[in-house]
Structure 1
Amino acid sequence: MTTLVVCVDRDNDIGRKAGVTPPITGWEAVRSLVIDVGLAEPEATGVNSLLESLRVTRELRDEGEEAVVAVLSGSSENAITADRAIAAQVDTLIERYEPTQSIVVIDSVDDERVVPIIESRLQVDAVDRVIVRQTRDIESTYYLLKQFLADEELRTTVLVPLGIGLLLIPILLFWFSPAVALGGVAALLGLGVLYKGLGVDEQIGSISEWSRELLYSGRVAVVTYVAALGLTVVGLFVGALGVSETGGTDPGLFAVAAFVHHSIPWLALAAVTAGTGRLLDELLVAETVQTPYLNLPFGLLSVGIVVRGFTGYVFESQLVVGSAVLTPAQRLVCYIIAGVVVSLIGVRVTTLLEQWTMRGAVDQQN
């Protein structure tokens, strides 16, 4: 029974420093390799793993077992090439020495990934990981940083905002005080964290995909959504003009009421336009419409009418508008009644369309 003691060097660090071709087998060859690697780089952890391989081999021989020590080296090109090279070397050693079990000596987490490759070809009795006591924390930190930098998503999420913030600090310090500069950088980093944490990037991606599907499908909603966007912009502009006409001396709540009062007709029209486009698409595609889609335009219009009535009551009760037939309270009641009437019309139209659809389905079955 022969035990194969293998020292794994996945990234070919030992072979590159000593200038040898793997696998290296035999007690004298490995001991000579220790001197070559130690002279090339005394602080290298590979020296310790080679010495550990020799120590394990000596203990096995002292116990009367037949043991062969070997060094397996991979490749520095990429992980797949390195693992294939080690697999080929294991096959060579098995064919040459015919071992029945093995002990694997490693010095890093990266080398530990080779253990399943060896285990698939030869029984592995033990895995001996060598870590220099003085550098355990340093090696762990280095490995974590290496894994972090290898993840593209983490790099773009953390390093990019951090780099932009560091670049902005000297620029902001040149123009502003340290408090303003640090506050601006902190706000920027906070926005970056919220942008990723709330999944804004995913939502933006879904919006672009949804827009692309609408354009390629040739739906009516494409035109109505664009028209609704334009009406929304006009409504916001009209609302801003309405606030500016108050002279800018009114309380905050009154300014909000003025903005809503002037913009709500345009915003309601934009909502009705978008809802109507969705309704037409359902009619064209499915030839039948669900109740929520039928009620949507009427519901949006009735809400707009009621909101216009309330804002008009607040807005016009504090302005001189000349002689009026109705008082603000009377006009508010009229707006509410109009909203209810529009909502009832929507319910009636929905009921009639549903009955007409059901009657058409029954006629087709007959």
Structure 2
Amino acid sequence: MTTLVLCVDRSNDIGRKAGLPTPVVGWEAVRSLVTEVGLADPEDSNVNCLLEALRVARDLRDEHEESVVAVVSGASETLVGADRSLAAQVDELVAEYDPDSTIVVVDSAGDERVVPVIESRLRVDSVDRVVVRQAHDIESTYYLLKQFLADEELRSTVLVPLGVTLLLMPLLLTQFSPAVALSGLASVLGAALLYKGLGVDQFLAESPDRIRDALYSGQVSVVTYVVGAGLTLVGSFLGALSATQRAGGDAGVTFVSAMLFVYYAVPWLALAALTASAGRLIDELLGAGGARRQYMNLPFGVVALGLVVRGFAGWFLQREGILGDALVLGWSLSARQRLALFIVVGIVVSVVGVRAAATMSENEALEEAVEQ
């Protein structure tokens, strides 16, 4: 069994510096070539590549395995011509020595690209990549950078936002102050990273298929989701309209405006969530498997959460004198009593929802046991 130890020089640095044609074959010939290349350029990494090829051949010889060490290079000015020259030299070696396999020794990522060319002519048992110890970090960083640039998804995630940011920077700096320009650029870059990091792009790409499948399957939740989105817009509009009436620069006024927004928007937002959850619950009830417990709990949880949030917002507004005392069955409630009432009602609604979901689950379990 003969193993060909092949040192590859795609850029023809060895042939050009030593002034010798390739392939160079044989232990003594390659050892003399090391001296020639080392004297011509002691800093050339090809010297280490040649020495590694000799070391591999020596180790195979010590294991009593027949080996042939050879050096091939791409004697051409173009990459295509260099690869063809390498292929022709490998064909020559195969025809003369008829090796069973080969061990390829390279010193760069560029030389490693010709491994498929060699594999098409001869079985490759190993690829030995030599990295000079002093330049290990630089070589590895270069290789990783090339791998990074070859990944389309990573390029679009990192390089595109950076490129847009650098393009916008001169325009913003000429129109606004440096602080405003840098803040805007940071916001753009952050939004782009969140857009990719949170998977918003994937969600938007899959949304048309989901909507089409939902429409074709006749799900009620499609309609209720649209209604919920409309109610959300209505609630946001009414909340913003109420908040703008108290807009100002003072921190207390700003906080009161936020409470006004919450107080007037929460009922509509809760109604929107209740509508969407009701549609989902109807789809589950109409399905073959029935409704799962979490879908039964959801409407009650939405109502309870809306009551509690509106109660706290009303407490702040009543303390500020914006809302008057609440009237319940002719009784006037203070801010504290009003908050307690909303909290108690919210807890009661939540407990009722949990109990109703548990009862329905028990009934379904009994029905399954009877059927079995």
Do the aligned partners of 2:11 and 2:73 also contact (CA within 8 Å) in 1?
no
Q: 1:140 to 1:302 in 2, by over 3 A?
A: closer
Q: Does 1:270 align with 2:275?
A: no
**Counterparts of 1:276 and 1:354, CA distance in 2:** 18
Q: What corresponds to 1:242 in structure 2?
A: 242
Do the aligned partners of 1:225 and 1:273 also contact (CA within 8 Å) in 2?
yes
Q: What corresponds to 2:219 in structure 1?
A: 219
**Counterparts of 1:285 and 1:5, CA distance in 2:** 67
**Match of 1:268, as an amino acid?**
A
Q: CA deviation at 1:334?
A: 4.6
Task: After superposition, give the CA deviation of every residue in 1:166-219 in whole Å (9 maximum; x if it has no partner).
Answer: 111211121123343334334433444444455554555566665454344331
Do the aligned partners of 2:247 and 2:253 also contact (CA within 8 Å) in 1?
no
Match of 1:328 among 322, 326, 333: 333
Write the mapping of 1:147-226 to structure 2, written as runs, cut at 5 A. 147-202=147-202, 210-211=210-211, 213-226=213-226
**Counterparts of 1:277 and 1:184, CA distance in 2:** 40
**Counterparts of 2:354 and 2:48, CA distance in 1:** 84
Q: What corresponds to 1:146 in structure 2?
A: 146
**Counterparts of 2:278 and 2:67, CA distance in 1:** 85
Q: CA deviation at 1:117?
A: 4.0
**Match of 1:188, as an amino acid?**
V
**Counterparts of 1:148 and 1:121, CA distance in 2:** 29
Q: How many residues align?
A: 335
**Counterparts of 1:197 and 1:315, CA distance in 2:** 39
SS at match of 2:331: coil
Q: CA deviation at 1:239?
A: 0.9
Gaps of 5+ in 2: 59-65
Q: What corresponds to 1:71 in structure 2?
A: 72
Do the aligned partners of 1:231 and 1:269 also contact (CA within 8 Å) in 2?
yes
Q: CA deviation at 1:231?
A: 0.8
**Match of 2:223, as an amino acid?**
V
With normalisation by structure 1, the TM-score equals 0.67
**Counterparts of 2:2 and 2:266, CA distance in 1:** 88
**Counterparts of 1:68 and 1:128, CA distance in 2:** 16
Q: CA deviation at 1:276?
A: 0.8
SS at match of 2:291: coil
Q: Does 1:256 align with 2:262?
A: no
Deviates more, 1:194-203 or 1:223-232: 194-203
Q: CA deviation at 1:50?
A: 12
Q: Does 1:310 align with 2:312?
A: yes
**Match of 2:322, as an amino acid?**
L
Q: Does 1:301 align with 2:303?
A: yes
Q: CA deviation at 1:342?
A: 3.8
Do the aligned partners of 1:7 and 1:49 also contact (CA within 8 Å) in 2?
no
Gaps of 5+ in 1: none
Q: CA deviation at 1:310?
A: 3.5
Do the aligned partners of 1:49 and 1:107 also contact (CA within 8 Å) in 2?
no
Q: CA deviation at 1:150?
A: 1.5
Task: After superposition, give the CA deviation of every residue in 1:32-74 in whole Å (9 maximum; x if it has no partner).
Answer: xx9xxx9xxx99x999579959x969x99xxxx9967452659
**Counterparts of 1:341 and 1:8, CA distance in 2:** 79
Identity of aligned residues (%): 44
**Counterparts of 2:219 and 2:349, CA distance in 1:** 27
Q: What corresponds to 1:319 in structure 2?
A: 322
Q: 1:267 to 1:185 in 2, by over 3 A?
A: closer
Q: 1:136 to 1:47 in 2, by over 3 A?
A: closer
With normalisation by structure 2, the TM-score equals 0.66
Instruction: Name the Cα RMSD after superposition.
Output: 5.1
Task: After superposition, give the CA deviation of every residue in 1:334-358 in whole Å (9 maximum; x if it has no partner).
Answer: 5445445544554564466446545
SS at match of 2:8: strand
Do the aligned partners of 1:232 and 1:270 also contact (CA within 8 Å) in 2?
yes
Deviates more, 1:328-337 or 1:151-160: 328-337
**Counterparts of 1:345 and 1:285, CA distance in 2:** 24
**Counterparts of 2:219 and 2:347, CA distance in 1:** 32
